[in-house]
Amino acid sequence: MNLNMMSGRKQRVMMVPAPAQGHVKPLMLLAHKLAQHGFRITFVYTQLDLNQITRAMDETRIGSSDVNNIELVSIPDGLGPQEERSMINKTKSIVEYLPVEIEKLIASISSTTSESNDKISCVVFDAFLGISVDVATKMGIQGVLFSPSSAAALVHAMNIQNLICDGVIDSKYGTSTQKQMIQLLPGMPGIDTSCLLWKLDELDSQQLLFQLYLNIEQALKSAQWCLCNTTHDLESVALHSSSSFLPIGPLMENKNHSTPSTILGSQFWAEDTSCLTWLDQHEAGSVIYVAFGSLTVHNEKQFHEIARGLELTGKPFLWVVRLGYISSNNEQEKGFDPYELLGKNSNVGKIVSWAPQEKVLSHPSIACFITHCGWNSTLECLSIGNGIPFLCWPYFADQFLNKDYICNVWKIGMGFIADENGIVTSDEIKSKVDKLLNDVDIRRRSLSFKEMAMKSIAKNGHSSTNLNNFITWLEAL
């Protein structure tokens, strides 16, 4: 599938994200930037992911007139038609089958193109698929890593062997041998071993995630570049830990508000743009924005506490409730309709299944952001929001590390405290919203971070210069 006619004669670059929303979007943002410089992009999804993304594009009825040089292709995910496509199953399968399928795809492209610059000259792999870098090397093609997470998360991957050798974690699951605080680099915040990035409740799933981080560690040793969606100002200590780290962020959409989205091929769900009109009806700094990303799951009890907490604040709210966000083991509860909770307060709150987040965060009516602290959401709020402070509710993996930076390093947000049953109560939600919105220092610091982020991607900014250097390197291949 072509997003537009191929044009120009620069090299062809293949880009391979991990199969998840938070990994696809930032790499597609980079793909668009390279395409704007004339490179021809072959962007690789699994077949089911491409089907879902194509449906989302059709539903939003967006034309492709602003997109050049990007071709969307797919490979099998290795799962049978009857197998459950949970994130764990997809990840297991893609780790096993991806190297073979990528090699096949590169060979197929090479065999059907006669001109040398129609062949793949470089493959940009998601860092979590670092195991496949050797495929490109074996075929005489440059392999580059792209990190959809923070540079600090990469530092954790780089130190796994040290942690094993020091007896801090075991070598099979990455489980901590005792609860303690560790500091990986001077100048980086310490981390509790109960919150290591690969820590999960289910041990087999943790082993898989731990292996992915081990793969990152190995891939970083051989990759000439690891492109990082971050800025020098945000993570100077972590970025200085490796000469291969190249900060090119924050990667952002085009500032074109005339269409629902300008980055085609990046969304797994169609965006409900009616929320933008709804936001237009509210005063500046009055709306609470609630969004927990593409993987967070809350049970119905927690959902009701959130709803009650938002009601107690007395403020309007915009809440993203995607399909699959509410978990339930009760068959009678699986038909639960979140919209029913709004009831008589339907003019106060609005629920959408997916939002054009960058446009929401840049809207003047947003007062604060209740978030899972995914890296994409963190960067978007930092760089686009008008001094929007964070209320942090991490779910798993690097989100706890991101929360630590938001609350303790950058000091532009606060975290929730769960009760003895693991529930964040409605009273806790109201209390933290009130406290956050009355803290003028947090908003002042948030605005300063926005200025730094915008400076980094301005002409001659640190990130812009790095991206231009990478483009020059690509052109010389």
Pairing of strands 390-392, 366-371: parallel
Tokens of 413: 């947000």
Average pLDDT rounded to a whole number, residues 27-41: 93
pLDDT digits (tens, 9 = 90+) for 388-439: 999 999 998 899 999 999 999 999 999 999 999 999 999 999 999 999 999 9
Alpha-carbon distance values, 183 to 147, 178, 180, 195, 286 (Å): 22, 15, 10, 13, 39
What backbone phi and psi angles, to 5 degrees, belong to 189? -65, 150
- Reply yes or no on whether the pLDDT at 339 is more than 80: no
Average pLDDT rounded to a whole number, residues 80-104: 76
pLDDT digits (tens, 9 = 90+) for 237-296: 999 999 999 999 999 875 543 344 457 777 888 889 999 999 999 999 999 999 999 888
Instruction: Calculate the CA 247 to chain-centre distance.
Output: 16
Instruction: Calculate the CA 202 to chain-centre distance.
Output: 22
User: What is residue 88's predicted lDDT score, i.e. its pLDDT?
Assistant: 73
- Reply yes or no on whether the pLDDT at 338 is more than 70: no
Tokens of 174: 């990455």
User: What is residue 309's predicted lDDT score, i.e. its pLDDT?
Assistant: 94
Tell me the β-bridge partners of 13. Answer: 41, 122
Tell me the β-bridge partners of 326. Answer: 298
Q: Contact at 8 Å (CB) between 292 and 393?
A: yes
The mean of the pLDDT values for the chain is 86
CB-side neighbour CA atoms (13 Å) of 16:
31
Higher per-residue confidence, 201 vs 406:
406
d(CA 215, CA 158): 10
Q: Please provide the DSSP assignment of 349-396 as one string.
A: EEEESS--HHHHHTSTTEEEEEE---HHHHHHHHHHSSSPPEEE---S
Pairing of strands 191-192, 245-247: unpaired
User: What is residue 187's predicted lDDT score, i.e. its pLDDT?
Assistant: 87
d(CA 413, CA 56): 32
Alpha-carbon distance values, 96 to 133, 143, 145 (Å): 14, 19, 19
Q: Which residue has the tokens 């009650």?
A: 308
Of 207, 198, 200, nearest to 173 by C-alpha is 207
Average pLDDT rounded to a whole number, residues 37-63: 79
User: What is residue 333's predicted lDDT score, i.e. its pLDDT?
Assistant: 45
- Residue ranges of the chain that CATH labels 3.40.50.2000: 12-254+458-476, 273-438
pTM value?
Answer: 0.90
> Which residue type is seen at 295?
L
User: What is residue 5's predicted lDDT score, i.e. its pLDDT?
Assistant: 38
Instruction: Calculate the CA 432 to chain-centre distance.
Output: 25
- In the sheet that holds 317-320, the strands lie side by side as 349-352, 317-320, 287-291, 366-371, 390-392, 413-415
Average pLDDT rounded to a whole number, residues 326-350: 61
Higher per-residue confidence, 51 vs 445:
445
Higher per-residue confidence, 298 vs 89:
298
DSSP state of 11: P
Percentage above 90 pLDDT, the chain: 58
Q: Which residues contact 240 (CB under 8 A, 6 or more apart)?
A: none
CATH number of 12-254+458-476: 3.40.50.2000
Tokens of 168: 């801090």
End-to-end C-alpha distance for the chain, whole angstroms: 26
Kind and range of the H or E element at 23? helix 21-36
pLDDT digits (tens, 9 = 90+) for 354-373: 999 999 999 999 999 999 99
Of 70, 71, 75, 68, nearest to 46 by C-alpha is 75
User: What is residue 259's predicted lDDT score, i.e. its pLDDT?
Assistant: 40
Handedness of CA 64, 67, 73, 74 (dihedral sign): negative
Tokens of 246: 């190249």
Tokens of 210: 């731990």
- Reply yes or no on whether the pLDDT at 53 is more than 90: no
d(CA 75, CA 82): 18
d(CA 106, CA 108): 5
Average pLDDT rounded to a whole number, residues 60-77: 68
Q: Contact at 8 Å (CB) between 77 and 52?
A: no
User: What is residue 89's predicted lDDT score, i.e. its pLDDT?
Assistant: 74
Q: Contact at 8 Å (CB) between 303 and 333?
A: no
Task: Provide the 3-class DSSP secondary structure of residue 230.
Answer: coil
d(CA 473, CA 4): 25
- Reply yes or no on whether the pLDDT at 65 is more than 50: no
- Reply yes or no on whether the pLDDT at 82 is more than 50: yes
Of 212, 239, 234, 274, nearest to 88 by C-alpha is 212
d(CA 276, CA 299): 28
Task: Provide the 3-class DSSP secondary structure of residue 18.
Answer: coil
User: What is residue 261's predicted lDDT score, i.e. its pLDDT?
Assistant: 47
Q: 273-438 domain in CATH 3.40.50.10470? A: no
Tokens of 4: 């537009």
Pairing of strands 298-299, 390-392: unpaired
User: What is residue 114's predicted lDDT score, i.e. its pLDDT?
Assistant: 62
pLDDT bracket for residue 7 (50, 70, 90): very low
Higher per-residue confidence, 439 vs 134:
439
